[in-house]
Amino acid sequence: MADVVVALGERSYPIFINTGIIDKPATYEQYIEGSKVFIVTNEVVAPLYLDLVTKALAAYEVHTKILSDGEQYKRIATAETIFDSLIEQRCDRKTTVLALGGGVVGDIAGFVAACYQRGVPYIQVPTTLLSQVDSSVGGKTAVNHPMGKNMIGVFYQPRCVVADTNTLDTLNDREFKAGMAEVIKYGYIRDIEFLGWLEANIDKLLSRDKDTLAYAIQHSCQIKADVVAQDERETGLRAILNLGHTFGHAIEAATGYTQWLHGEAIGAGMAMAADLSHRIGWLSTQDNDRVVRLLECAGLPVKPPGGISPERFLELMSIDKKVDSGNVRLVLLPQLGQAELIADYDIGLLNQTLRHFST
């Protein structure tokens, strides 16, 4: 049985969260439509899990595309090489694309699946904490542009998500801590009790206690599934999932997608969003400090790297999917456990935040 269901009517799908499910044929067979499976993975994940998944898919004709690892490769040029391979292998509209890897692999494989022959089925098999709790869920697929993160993409839901928590055993500490940013985010935006639980259990999470981690993943996925079910295409409520992301995406773009991991940039971005929330009179000093303290306890950055001027920040933030009629809309915190997308904030206060974090 599914641990979480993303309820989207006829396009509803399960999220399976368990140990030792990545190599079981029964995990996949109900969600594969045709006779071919095309696995997209990368050079780090392939040596660890590609053989296990391939053996689980022994009943199918399996083809594989192994990508270079890194956010800098999440671009149109990489997607074109996947399209080339799909065509070369005579993959048709019933070919199932399987994304095996972290957020970059999942985003680009989903984007390719949405576009190839106007849409083929795909399955998400996330192998990082960040992808298990966030990017594999909800159907956002995209590639980056040098001027902006995820600027070219489409909403396209997978047939299922397979989150085998055993894959986190091979995740390095930096990637693991980056993934914690998205877990923590759910407490800030939607669930004050979960925030308190995270504060009480952060040490157990960082030590990768199996039961504690499984609960954090399941609860994070449930929160995201509930939000996506209400607002699949981000016309309103779903925007709250982007707390810190406008700031964070600017950090990633300014550093060429090579210096910081996505979760690290989002950690700093959430600290910046909390600071602005405090400046406009929403968060108290104590709650602002509480935001920063948990991020620090999780080993995440709470300020951007040096060298990004306030002017450069504003320039990059203006190239954001949440910009509306020239206004940079931001997700801020009226209080902990509640988030809101707003455009009518005082730009002078935003400049204060940018100056504060650029010194």
C-beta atoms surrounding 110 within 10 Å: 28
Strands 330-335, 338-342: parallel, antiparallel or unpaired by DSSP?
Answer: antiparallel
Place of tokens 């799908």: 13
**Active site annotation includes 262:** yes
> Do the beta carbons of residue 186 and residue 219 sit within 8 Å?
yes
How far, in Å, CA of 338 to CA of 343, rounded?
17
Q: Which of 144, 150, 242, 288 is catalytic?
A: 242
Q: Which among 177, 245, 278, 322 is annotated as catalytic?
A: 245
Tell me if residue 245 is catalytic.
yes
The catalytically annotated residue of 71, 175, 232, 234 is 234
Choice among 74, 159, 190, 262 that is catalytic: 262
Which residues lie below 8 Å from residue 232, measured CB to CB, with a gap of 6+?
Answer: 8, 138, 139, 155, 157, 238
Residue 254, classified by CB atoms within 10 Å of its CB into exposed (0-12), middle (13-18) or buried (19+), is: buried
Residue 24 among the catalytic residues: no
Candidates 17, 266, 49, 38; CA nearest to 132 is 17
DSSP 258-287: TSS-HHHHHHHHHHHHHHHHHHTTSS-HHH
Instruction: Locate the DSSP E strands across 174-280.
Output: none
Q: Is 242 a catalytic residue?
A: yes
Round to whole Å and give the CA distance between 71 and 145. 11
Q: Which residue is catalytic, options 36, 74, 140, 322?
A: 140
145 flagged as catalytic: no
Q: Which residues contact 280 (CB under 8 A, 6 or more apart)?
A: 332, 345, 346, 349
Sign of CA dihedral 322, 142, 119, 241: negative
Catalytic residue among 36, 224, 278, 321: 224
140 has catalytic annotation: yes
How far is the C-alpha of 98 from the C-alpha of 121, rounded, in Å? 9
Known catalytic membership, residue 118: yes
Query: Could you confirm whether 75 is annotated as catalytic?
Result: no
Question: Which one is catalytic: 10, 88, 90, 118?
Answer: 118
Q: Which of 249, 279, 321, 329 is catalytic?
A: 249
Clarify whether 18 is annotated catalytic: no
**Catalytic pick among 238, 278, 279, 322:** 238
Catalytic (active site) residue 356? no
User: Catalytic one among 175, 182, 232, 264?
Assistant: 182
* Residues tagged active-site: 118, 140, 182, 224, 234, 238, 242, 245, 249, 262
